Copies of this chain bind each other. A is one copy, B any other.
Amino acid sequence: MAETYRKELVQRIIKNLLDIQLLRMVQAQPVWGYKIKKKVEANFQIKLRHGALYPMLNSLEQKGFLTSQMQTTGGRARKVYTITKSGEEYLQSYYAILKDQIEDVDLK
């Protein structure tokens, strides 16, 4: 059945389009790296190395897709990320492509 391939495909998409998944999560609500890691691992049943995650978040900030503010809650220092206008535009482009894929626009 079709669901057999789902987990394998999700893992590929998360891996290859990790930056986009991070933008989606931050857009849903401002959040910090460690929480993203836990959420990805719970939602998609994949291991997300922090050695890959943190450099990617910093890179997204450098590109202007995310901004960050340090927050300290109970002595716990967190770098909370918020999506920027550019980041939202990037996501909109992504969603537009997905719609084209589903509707076979690009095959005509």
Contact = CB atoms under 8 A, between A and B. Distances in A.
Interface residue SS majority, chain A = helix
Identical copies of this chain, number: 2
A34 to B, nearest CB: 17
A97 B10 contact: yes
A2 to B, nearest CB: 4
Interface string A1-29: 11111100110110011000000110010
A94 interface: yes
A43 interface: yes
Contact of A104 (B10, B28, B94, B96): B28
5 contacts: A2-B93, A5-B94, A12-B17, A13-B97, A102-B102
